[in-house]
Structure 1
Amino acid sequence: MTPQELVAAAQAGDRDAFAQLWATYRREMEGIAYARTGDHYLAEDIASEAFLRAWKNLPTFTWRGQGFPAWVGSIVRNIVIDYYKSCHYQRSWATDTTDEETWREVDLDRRNDPINVVAHAELAAALDEAIADLTPGQRAVIVRRFGAELSPTDTAAEVGLNLHAAKTMQHRATRALRRHPAIAALEVAA
């Protein structure tokens, strides 16, 4: 069955069709969540919550553009935004097991770890340098595809190329980024 047929069957109440949609798109949705959180377990939870919300709101879904995966992807992004806005993310409290009367604040967000902050800053600086050295066309494709998170089709339309040419340019740009001395230096340091 095509994705459109699976969605139609799921909208009619077919749980097996929805399970097949889940099996098809689960990894992609976990990837979207992981890219924004850096935590595999949290990404799995967010993707599961997104599919639960999709199931509950499936009767209101109409296929447009990229269809079902784009819709669930937007649900994932909204859940991530909600997570970062919540107090869950900002701080958690735990008791100090050595002194019951003393409470200590524990920051559970690993991105606040000084080593991770420095590594992220170094990677960002190396990427900025490497992207600046790409050709203007390659830079336009990379910035739109990964910076703005556009689909390959939308990226091609924005830069005025056909889909095949945009994908080829993306491939060449990512290859150039991997080979760039600033990126290679980070790989050696790791």
Structure 2
Amino acid sequence: MGNIKAEKCHRCQAFPASEMTGVYCKACFCDILEKRMRKELKGRINKGSRVLVMDKAAAKIIRSLLNYPFSIDILKSRKLSPCNLPALISHPDFIKLIRDKNHDVAVLPWTADLEAAVFLEQSFFNKKSPNSIKILKLFRQITEKELKSYCTIRGLNTWTSQMPASIGFIRLLDREHPEIVHGLVRSSEEVENISSQAHAKKTQKRKPGKN
């Protein structure tokens, strides 16, 4: 592990890498992760949007990534806990909250690990995904390990969510195939895109034709 500290960052070649950030220096590591977050935010939070977040740390991150005005509300309901995100997004009170408060999007600290585990369960156990049109998974491109390092560097609280049982299987695969989590996330995105396209076509067919 000591050799990693002596190596130069594989990206900028200017600063040393660290044990916490692998082959990157801390600045490049954070920049890479923030680009992934911006990818998730793109087109979902616009000027004037009303956004629901789980805590102040998430609000701080989003405001640092977007340089235009929008409003943020922080979840304060005791009934709704962000500790189990898959359950939260299908909770009637959560859905009602978003609808009643006219939130354009609810930003969740949803990591790549969680996305992979949920996708695996949906694929093998035919578990349906709730309608998540207003859900934004801020850390979907970031593993829990990466997020923990990022939060440590930025001085933020870390997030944890209850994981589906399939995470144990993913952890085993990860030992031999370190890219398994990101691979499952990509597969999840592909399925999501196909589903969205199919839904759009179905909606288009339902529209009455012009006279």
Q: Identify whether the pair has TM-score above 0.5, normalized to the shorter chain.
A: no
- TM-score normalised per structure 2: 0.27
Whichever of the two has the greater Rg, that structure is: 1
Name which structure has the greater RCO, CA cutoff 8 Å, separation 6+. 2
- TM-score normalised per structure 1: 0.29
